[in-house]
Amino acid sequence: MKRVVVTGMCGLSPIGLNWSEVDKSLRTRRSAIRIMPEWDIVPDLNTRLGAPLPEFELPPHYNRKRTRSMGRVGILATRSAELAIEDAGLIDDPILNSGRTGVAFGSSSGSPPAIGDIGKLMLTHDMDSINANTYIQIMPHTTAVNVSVFFGICGRLIPTSTACTSGSMAIGLAYETIQEGRQTVMLAGGADEISVSQAAVFDTLFATSTMNDNPTSTPRPFDANRDGMVVGEGAATFVLEEHDHAIARGATIHAEVIGFGTNSDGNHITQPTTETMAEAMQLALKDARVSAEEIGYVNAHGTATNLGDIAESQATLTAIGHRVPVSSLKSYIGHTLGACGGLEAWMTIEMLKGNWYAPTINLENIDPKCAELNYIVGDGLKQQSEYVMTNNFAFGGVNTSLIFRRWN
C-alpha cells in the first residue's frame, strides 16, 4: 500500500479566509456567529443565527463563462481548490490534466437558490426562473464536477454528498484511492453555502440554537446549557499526493494521512448511535496502526445538539479514553455542514504543526450526561503531538474518522 501525504490545503471559513486569519481568531476566541436579518422574511423561523463567510473578491478569471454552471457552493469549492493547488505548487503542473489526478468532493446539497427555482416551477408551473444551468447548480455532485471541469482534471471523480461528512468522506476516499495506486494526486474536500432553507430544516427538528439575543454565546458544544447548532458556510480542499511522487518533486508536506474509518449506524436517520460512532474511530486506529493512547488530540464533531454531544462524547470515551484532549471548532464557526469535515481537518493539521490546540469556547459547565473527557477550555493547549484525529457524523448515520501524522 502506498503512503499518502498532504501537500496542499486551503480553507474558506467564517473566521478567516486563510490560516493567519483563522489562527488569530482561534487564539482570541473570536466567534463568527451573528444575527441574520435577511432571514426575517421567514416569520416562523425560531433561530436567527448564522455564520456566513467574510466578503471576498474572486479573481478576474472567474468570469461568467467559467462560472455560469456554478451556484455559490460551486464557486466556494472551486476557489478553495485553486488555492490548495497553488499551496501544493501544482497550479501549472501537467499532472493535473494527465489522468493521474482525480477529484473527491461533496456538499450536503446543491445551491439552495437554484433548488428554489425548481420549487417555483413545481408550485407555479412557471419556467421563467429555469435555465440551462439550473440543474447543474442543484445536482448532488455539483461541487465535484465544477472543480473537475474548471481545472481540466480527467482522472477519477468521486462525489461524496453525505451531509455533514461530505468533506471528511472525500478526504478518506481520496486517501484510499491513492493508497491503492489508482491515482497519484487527488483534490479532496467539501463545501456548503449558508441558506435560510438549511436553518429551517434543522429548526423543524428543534436542533437550532435560539440564543438570538446573544449570538456569540452559542453554540455551546458539550455544555449543560447548550440549546442547539448554528448553521455556517465555507469550503476546504486538500491536495493529497502519493508519498514518493511528492518527495521526488520536492513538495512541501503538511502532514501524512495514515488512518480512515467509516461506517453507518443502520439504525435511525437522525438519531446518533454511540456504538457505531466508536467503531468508526476504532476502524481509523486499526487502519493507522496506532493505539488510542498515541492520539494527541481529537477534533470533535461537537454540534451542540442534545443527543449528538452525548452520543459522541460517550463514543470518544469508549474508543479513545478520557485522557486525550478534545475540542470542537464549531463553537467558533457554527456547523458548516458539507464543508465541516474539510475545514476542521485543515485547522487540526495547522494546530498540529503549530503545537497549540484551540479550546471549545462557550463551554462553561460540562453536561453531566456527556462523558468525562479532557475538554480543552480557557486559553487552549500547548502540546506537541505525533498523531491527531478528527471525527464527523452525519444524518443517515454516516460516521467518519481521520487520523493524521505530524510530518517532521
Helices (H), 223-305: 243-248, 274-288
What secondary structure does DSSP assign to 181-239, as a single string?
Answer: TS-SEEEEEEEE---HHHHHHHHHTT-B---TT-GGG---TTBTT---B-EE-EEEEEE
DSSP state of 55: P
Q: Is the dihedral of CA 220, 221, 223, 225 positive or negative?
A: positive
pLDDT at 408: 84
**Whole-angstrom distance, CA of residue 190 vs CA of residue 140:** 12
Q: Tell how strand 356-357 and strand 49-51 pair up.
A: unpaired
User: Residue 171 in 3-state DSSP?
Assistant: helix
**Whole-angstrom distance, CA of residue 160 vs CA of residue 254:** 24
DSSP state of 386: S
pLDDT at 279: 98
**Whole-angstrom distance, CA of residue 385 vs CA of residue 383:** 6
Select from 405, 402, 359, 360 the least CA-distant residue to 385.
405
Select from 250, 249, 98, 258 the least CA-distant residue to 183.
98
Select from 286, 309, 297 the least CA-distant residue to 357.
297
Average pLDDT over the chain, rounded to an integer: 97
In degrees and rounded to multiples of 5, residue 238 shows phi and psi of: -110, 140
Computed on alpha carbons and rounded to an integer, the radius of gyration of the chain in Å comes to 20
Q: Tell how strand 231-232 and strand 374-375 pair up.
A: unpaired
Angle at 392 between CA 386 and CA 299, to 5 degrees: 35
Q: Which CATH superfamily is domain 259-406 in?
A: Thiolase/Chalcone synthase (3.40.47.10)
Looking from the CA of 317 toward its CB, the CA atoms found within 13 Å total 15
**Interval 92-122: pLDDT, tens:** 999 999 999 999 999 999 999 999 999 999 9
Mean pLDDT of all residues in 293-321: 98
| Pair 363, 375: CB distance under 8 Å | yes
| Pair 48, 194: CB distance under 8 Å | no
pLDDT at 160: 97
Would 4-248 and 259-406 be classified into the same CATH topology?
yes
**Interval 349-359: pLDDT, tens:** 999 999 999 99
| Pair 266, 34: CB distance under 8 Å | no
Q: How large a percentage of the chain has pLDDT more than 70?
A: 100
Select from 342, 334, 75, 52 the least CA-distant residue to 187.
342
Query: How close are the terminal C-alpha atoms of the chain, in Å?
Result: 21
**Interval 138-186: pLDDT, tens:** 999 999 999 999 999 999 999 999 999 999 999 999 999 999 999 999 9
DSSP state of 309: H
Domain residue ranges in the chain: 4-248, 259-406
**Interval 176-220: pLDDT, tens:** 999 999 999 999 999 999 999 999 999 999 999 999 999 999 999
pLDDT at 173: 98
**Interval 343-397: pLDDT, tens:** 999 999 999 999 999 999 999 999 999 999 999 999 999 999 999 999 999 999 9
Confidence of residue 67 (pLDDT cuts 50, 70, 90): very high
Q: Which CATH superfamily is domain 4-248 in?
A: Thiolase/Chalcone synthase (3.40.47.10)
Mean pLDDT of all residues in 292-319: 98
Select from 361, 370, 79 the least CA-distant residue to 217.
361
pLDDT at 17: 98
**Whole-angstrom distance, CA of residue 308 vs CA of residue 273:** 9
Point out the residues that are catalytic: 164, 301, 335
**Whole-angstrom distance, CA of residue 128 vs CA of residue 229:** 36
Element (H, E) at 356: strand 356-357
**What grid cell was written down for 246?**
511528492
Q: In residues, how long is the chain?
A: 408
Contacts of 189 (CB under 8 A, 6+ apart): 77, 80, 81, 84, 104, 105, 167, 170, 171, 235, 236, 237, 238, 339, 342
